[in-house]
Structure 1
Amino acid sequence: MDDETTLIGEGVVLETAPASIGLRTAGALIDALVIGSVYLGSFLLLAQLLPDGLDLAAMSAAVLVHLVLVFVGIPIAVETATRGRSVGKYATGVRIVRDDGGPIAFRQAFVRGLLGVFDLWLTAGGVALISALVTRRAKRVGDLLAGTYALKERAAKSPHAPLIMPPELVGWADTADVRRMPDGLALTARQFLSRAPRLNPTSRAQHGSELGARVASYVSPQPPAGTSPEALIAAALVVRRDREYTRGVEQQRLDSEIADAVHRLPHGVPESR
């Protein structure tokens, strides 16, 4: 597992690439401009609405409430309503999500909004930048306490390499028995094959050996001696895919035949025998 994947409870690996500090900074600047514009416009409107002769204490309270509503209330409301988006995040293709990859709720938005006063506004983003530089997934203080991070929604999806049966295992695959693998293992193996060419050779060999051993426990007989772990993984996934596809096609054919037979009977009811 790495910073670009999340293992959810069902054992499925999700692609969850965190947003870079550059993207987060750009989104924060856009949000700051939007919030600043809203504050200035609403402040001018408030000045027109406040009655003349209002005492200093009441005026100060009104200004303070207005300040809190704009700089804290609006970000919390927007992130809650959009499940982690804002104008800046929408422009940069970023969304705030929980650490497990799920959408945030009011609780997370509330914590982030309160802490944003400290790590964004009062320090001009300095604390947020330092926190992002030293934490996993570039989290600011609000993210650390809320259990969230910024997800790069427009991350380029690395295309899966096509699954091809290794020529040296064609004969073995014709008679091999590949038991059903857990979906999490099958997905992890599929992603490994797609990423293998970009991995460090040492990491590639290590992960390949570990995954190959796990996959081998679901096949019988074992492949010929000297078969590489990657070849075994590819062959097992091809056999699994082709056989599940064949079973699906056969099931559709049987369902279609049963449906035709039922519709030919009176009132669509099967005949009693």
Structure 2
Amino acid sequence: MTIAPPNGIDHPTTLSPASTGRLVSGEAVELEIRLARVGSRVLALLLDIGVQLVLLYTLITVISMLTIAASAHSGAPSDALMNAMIVVILVGIFVGYPVTLETFTAGRTVGKLALGLRVVRDDGGPIRFRHALTRSLVGVALEWPGFILPLVTWIASLTTMLANPAGKRLGDLAAGTVVIHDRTPASWGWVPSMPPQLAGWARTLDLTALPNDLALAVRHFLARNRRIAEPFRSRLGYSLASEVAARTTPAPPVGVPGWMYLAAVVAERHRRSARQLALARGIAAQIWPELASPKPPSGTSPRTP
């Protein structure tokens, strides 16, 4: 198939789907994970700092009141005891706070929860205590509050986040973790409908060479093409259609518009992925029925959709 470029366009532009900075699912069916960037992470950190300062002020106030009450009966406590209490408070606030929350809330703190962020392992799995502890210790020493050369380590940490493709900070690099957006806009889940006149042809498509990031870029383009001004829309559509045509067979029927061709490819990819998922769930239901269809708690009835 030869896809003619739009008028006035001699060469297609190159699209880099990876520039979206998002993790792509295996079949590019659901975009459930997006990498968190510096802006959202800084806002989450500021919220956590506010919570930590409130906790610090509260604990210091309570301990000061207890110290005054105790000194009225048995004299003022020693300097060593006061210093030890201060160390315990600081460790509890700056280390215990993130470690405890991230361990028991599957990678969230108050700030991350407010911004819809979550810490996960590099493989996408939930973090454990050791991951949270490593992130916290590195953060306290080099990032926030950064007891070792605060200004220098702050700059180094910010530079690392900006330079790393996944937006990782020093603590993430040490722990093997990454921060993601736990909330995904519903628009990313949109999949185009299959054009009826191309349904039969689409079932014969060989999609094995179509990469995930290209399929995802096509889906995003189809979802947004009405908001893309010309000539950029035609240029991008031609570029995507050319890339897809080079990786799929057979060629579409003659005279099919580029947008319809792309919609048919993405819709067929989605249909096949959904069928594979249904088959996998059917096998799981046969092997382990309780896992596939958990029973509702006693005294309740299952909700209907």
TM above 0.5, one fold?
Answer: yes
Of all paired residues, the percent bearing the same amino acid is 32
Q: How does 1:169-184 map to 2 (within 5 A)?
A: 170=197, 173-174=199-200, 177-178=203-204
Which of the pair has the greater relative contact order for Cα pairs under 8 Å at 6+ separation? 2
Q: For residue 64 of structure 1, what is the aligned residue in structure 2?
A: 87
Out of 46, 51, 64, the residue aligned to residue 29 of structure 1 is 46
Paired residue type of 1:121: P
1:138-162 deviation digits (Å, cap 9, x = unpaired): 3321122223233223343435253
Q: Which amino acid aligns with 1:42?
A: L
Instruction: For residue 34 of structure 1, report the CA deviation from its aligned partner.
Output: 0.7
Query: In structure 2, what residue type is equivalent to 1:142?
Result: G
Instruction: Name which one, 1 or 2, has greater alpha-carbon Rg.
Output: 1
Counterpart-to-counterpart distance in 1, 2:254 and 2:39:
49
**Superposition map of 1:12-23 within 5 A:** 12-13=27-28, 14-23=31-40
1:28 and 1:174, CA in 2 relative to 1: closer, same or farther beyond 3 A?
closer
Which segments of 5 or more consecutive residues in structure 1 lack a partner in the other structure?
249-273
Question: Hey, what's the Cα distance between the residues in 1 that align with 2:112 and 2:218?
Answer: 32
Contact 2:21–2:165 (CA<8 Å) still a contact in 1? Answer: no
Residue 95 of structure 1 aligns with an amino acid whose one-letter code is R
The amino acid of 1:133's aligned partner reads L
Is contact 2:139-2:171 (8 Å) kept? yes
Check conservation: 2:32, 2:184, Cα contact below 8 A: no
Out of 125, 150, 154, the position equivalent to 2:183 is 154
Tell me the CA shift for residue 67 of structure 1. 1.4
Which string of whole-angstrom CA distances, capped at 9 and with x for unpartnered residues, describes residues 76-128 of structure 1? Answer: 11111111211111222222223333332222211111111121102375544
Cα separation, partners in 2 of 1:121 and 1:185, compared to 1, 3 Å: same
Task: Give the unaligned 5+ runs of structure 2.
Answer: 1-16, 279-305
The verdict on how the C-alpha distance between 1:176 and 1:106 changes in structure 2, with shifts beyond 3 A counting, is closer
CA RMSD of aligned residues (A): 3.8
Taking structure 1 as reference, are residues 23 and 177 closer, same or farther at Cα in structure 2, changes over 3 Å only?
Answer: closer
Q: TM-score, normalised by structure 1?
A: 0.67
**Aligned residue runs from structure 1 range 1-273, under 5 A:** 2=18, 3-7=20-24, 11-13=26-28, 14-49=31-66, 52-117=75-140, 118-122=142-146, 123=150, 125-159=154-188, 160=190, 162-165=192-195, 170=197, 173-174=199-200, 177-178=203-204, 191-196=216-221, 197=225, 205-216=238-249, 222-224=251-253, 231-236=260-265, 238=267, 241=271
Conserved in 2, the CA contact under 8 Å of 1:132 and 1:140?
A: yes
8 Å CA contact 1:212, 1:230 repeated in 2:
no
Alpha-carbon distance change, 235 to 31 in structure 1, aligned in 2, over 3 angstroms: closer
SS in 2 for 1:121: coil
Change beyond 3 A, Cα 1:90–1:133: same
Stretch of structure 1 that moved more, 121-130 or 143-152: 121-130
Deviates more, 1:114-123 or 1:153-162: 153-162
Q: What amino acid maps onto 1:44 in structure 2?
A: T
Task: Using structure 2 for the length normalisation, give the TM-score.
Answer: 0.61
**For residue 193 of structure 2, what is the amino acid of its counterpart?**
L
For the 8 Å contact 2:191–2:266, the answer to whether it is kept is: no
CA separation of 1:173/1:35 partners in 2, compared to 1, >3 Å: closer, same or farther?
A: closer
Which one has a larger percent helix, Structure 1 or Structure 2?
A: 1
Count of equivalent residues: 234
